[in-house]
Amino acid sequence: MSDPEVLPSSTPPPASKPTQRGSIGRASAALASGTLVSRSLGFVSAAMLAWAIGQQNQGANAFAIANQLPNNVYAIIAGGLLSAVLVPQIVRAARHDDDGQTFVNRLVTLGIVVFLGVTLLATLGAPLLVTVYTGQGGTALRGDGVALAVSFAYWCLPQIFFYALYSLLGEVLNARGVFGPFTWAPVLNNVVAIAGLVVFAVLFGVDPAHRDPASWDSARITVLAGSATLGVTAQAVILIAFWRRTGLRYRPDFRWRGVGLGSTGRAAAWTFGMILITQLAGIVQSQVAVSAGVNDPSVAVLRTSWLIFMLPHSIVAVSIATPYFTRMSGHARDERLDLVRDDLSSSLRTIILLVAGAGVALAAAALPFAAFFAHDTREVVGIGGVLLAYLLGLVPFSTLFLVQRTFYALGDTRTPFFAQLLQSSLFVTGALMVLLLPHSAIAAGIAIVTSVAGSIQTLVIIALLRRRLGRIDGRRMLRRFGSYALATLPAAVVGLLVLLALGGLAPIGLGTTGFALSNKVAELLSVVLVGGVTGLVYLGVLWVARVPELRELAGPLRRLLTRS
């Protein structure tokens, strides 16, 4: 797996530092803690956004479309390259005589130039981009709503550059073994966004004052969308302060030949294709979503539900997989496929143990969690239903994340492309069938199709990875996954009983409304109580069953408590 353009060095690269289990654990803990704080503030920001402009109306859908556009364009032009290719390439470049300094300088310079150009073109093309993602506007986003989305987009699309810069700098930091700043920087983004929403509410009031697109003047648009972009800018710029920790010094370098960028581009080509077809499927999703009724779950509800869905994945799967990805890239560079297999098995068993528990806890608390973002029972049911549909695919989604990165560590971006092509084909077919559903069920239908298509993709890519590695410790992993699945059953039952006792099932006609839905504080407390009890039952069942992965995780905690 050696790169012919990489020169050998007798000094191990900094990116290979986290090779011991303890180092992996510390890096994962740092990533998880930052993600937890960031996601918590993200929920505060999302709740304040829902409070300020609502969820199921044209104004909210217009902002959701516009504020998602930078993510979509960024994903097309840079997301796949940065997330899939750079870490292995930087690990390999660390064997250059200059420890990868020239490679990184030229890579960052090239990235900045490309990102600036694309951002400028995308911002100028804001009306076209909005039209692509909404068609001519559906029931949930009519003429004035589409025009408002364009106005928002002019302010939001500059985020493309700063998202890309954040990811570029962050992946270099990760590849050099500096994991903390990348995961803590979004905290600053959320703080700025929350401050912007406070200013917006003070100056212009809150929902339902902004449901009519015609009520939005330039001042409201500037404060809401401008503060969102300012947060993303701060998230990127703060990473510059941590650059010295990489052991590198950045100097702009426009000489892009002869340092290995060619192999990076070849590796990125398949990933670019994968992201492109994903975004084409996203366009279909967006156009199907806006076909819902103006007062039915649509784009904004899908975005809020996805934010909640991503909580366990981001805290657990991303935090554990990121340092393992760096280490697997080093093993693949050294042609140690046995160590790649060991890391895959170890990380996947741990990730699924925690994700399955978090998923069942989140499902049990779905209604009070949805209520925190909603204004009435109709919105609670809408958000809660979409969230539960997404949660059906949580375990496959997190599994896919790690398996894809195993292929990337091996330098194979072609196989994930074909797996994604399958998923996108299935999703588009299913999403078009969702158009046959009643308007009130369209968003939930999209979420179900997402879960089903992603689960099939995961099964296929696992089979392909097994062929690539020869074996993947499949029998042991299947036994463990079976144990995790069985443990979720009593946990779910107990969690729902607690929720029923708190009056949290009233929105779906079970019991009477009680504490769980009485106010925002009670809703959050109910989420913690229901989710906590559910999670404890899940872990208790696994502990009684003497699942070794759980006892391994308990060891460091026990030692910490003993020392304190």
Q: Which long-range contacts (CB under 8 A, 24 or more apart) does 257-263 make?
A: 259/5, 259/96, 259/102, 259/103, 259/106, 260/3, 260/5, 260/6, 260/89, 260/92, 260/93, 260/96, 260/103, 261/103, 261/106, 261/107, 261/110, 262/5, 263/3, 263/5, 263/89
- Per residue in 469-503, pLDDT (tens digit) is 888 888 899 999 999 999 999 999 999 999 999 99
Q: Looking at residue 428, what is its pLDDT?
A: 95
Task: State the DSSP code for 134.
Answer: H
Residue 517 backbone phi and psi in degrees, to 5: -125, 20
Is residue 468 one of the residues assigned to a domain? no
Q: Looking at residue 258, what is its pLDDT?
A: 54
Can you tell me the mean pLDDT for 545-559?
A: 75
**Which of 60-69, 95-104, 355-364 ranks highest by mean pLDDT?**
355-364
Q: Of 268-277, 445-454, 528-537, 541-550, where does mean pLDDT reach its minimum?
A: 268-277
Is residue 55 one of the residues assigned to a domain? yes
Is residue 129 one of the residues assigned to a domain? yes
- Per residue in 196-228, pLDDT (tens digit) is 999 999 999 888 778 788 889 999 999 999 999
Is residue 402 one of the residues assigned to a domain? no
Nearest 5 degrees, angle CA 406-CA 409-CA 415? 65
Question: What is the 3-state secondary structure of 294-310?
Answer: CCCCCHHHHHHHHHHHH
Q: At what angle do helices 548-563 and 337-364 cross, to 10 degrees?
A: 80
Strand intervals (E) in 51-139: none
- Assign 96 a pLDDT band (cuts: 50, 70, 90): low
Q: Looking at residue 145, what is its pLDDT?
A: 82
Is residue 439 one of the residues assigned to a domain? no
Residue 274: give the domain boundaries: 30-295
Residue 7 has pLDDT above 50, yes or no: no
Residue 189 has pLDDT above 80, yes or no: yes
Within 10 Å of residue 127's Cβ, how many Cβ atoms? 15
Residue 562 has pLDDT above 60, yes or no: no
d(CA 493, CA 499): 10
d(CA 496, CA 361): 10
Q: Is 253 exposed, middle or buried (0-12, 13-18, 19+ CB in 10 A)?
A: middle
CA 324 vs CA 100, 320, 464, 473: distances in Å:
21, 7, 20, 17
Q: Of 20-24, 115-119, 350-354, 361-365, where does mean pLDDT reach its minimum?
A: 20-24
d(CA 350, CA 487): 15
Q: Of 42-46, 265-269, 303-307, where does mean pLDDT reach its minimum?
A: 265-269
- Assign 136 a pLDDT band (cuts: 50, 70, 90): low
Is residue 123 one of the residues assigned to a domain? yes
Residue 162 has pLDDT above 90, yes or no: yes
Q: Which long-range contacts (CB under 8 A, 24 or more apart) does 246-249 make?
A: 246/14, 246/104, 246/172, 246/173, 246/176, 246/178, 247/14, 247/99, 247/176, 248/99, 248/100, 248/101, 248/104, 248/105, 248/172, 248/176, 249/101
Q: Which are the contacts of 476, defined by CB distance < 8 A and separation ≥ 6? A: 345, 349
Is residue 395 one of the residues assigned to a domain? no
Q: Of 10-19, 122-131, 424-433, 525-534, where does mean pLDDT reach its minimum?
A: 10-19
Q: Torsion-angle region of residue 376: left (phi > 0), alpha (psi -120 to 50) or beta?
A: beta
Report how many domains make up the chain.
Answer: 1
Average pLDDT, the chain: 83
| Nearest partner of 64 among 286, 334, 284, judged by Cα | 286
What helix, strand, coil percent values describe the chain, rounded to 5? Answer: 80, 0, 20
Residue 433 has pLDDT above 90, yes or no: yes
Residue 465 has pLDDT above 90, yes or no: yes
- Assign 36 a pLDDT band (cuts: 50, 70, 90): confident
Residue 120 has pLDDT above 50, yes or no: yes
Are 182 and 38 in contact by the 8 Å Cβ rule? The answer is: no
Distance of CA 252 to the CA centre of its chain: 31
Q: Of 107-111, 252-256, 334-338, 369-373, where does mean pLDDT reach its minimum?
A: 252-256
Is residue 416 one of the residues assigned to a domain? no
pLDDT > 90: what percent of the chain?
Answer: 36
Q: Which are the contacts of 202, defined by CB distance < 8 A and separation ≥ 6? A: none
Residue 4 has pLDDT above 50, yes or no: no
| Nearest partner of 28 among 344, 36, 523, 434, judged by Cα | 36
Q: Looking at residue 25, what is its pLDDT?
A: 66
Can you tell me the mean pLDDT for 89-104?
A: 67
How many helices (H) does the chain have, and how many strands (E)?
22, 0
d(CA 41, CA 474): 38
Higher pLDDT, 180 or 445: 445
Distance of CA 216 to the CA centre of its chain: 30
Run of H or E including 202: helix 180-204
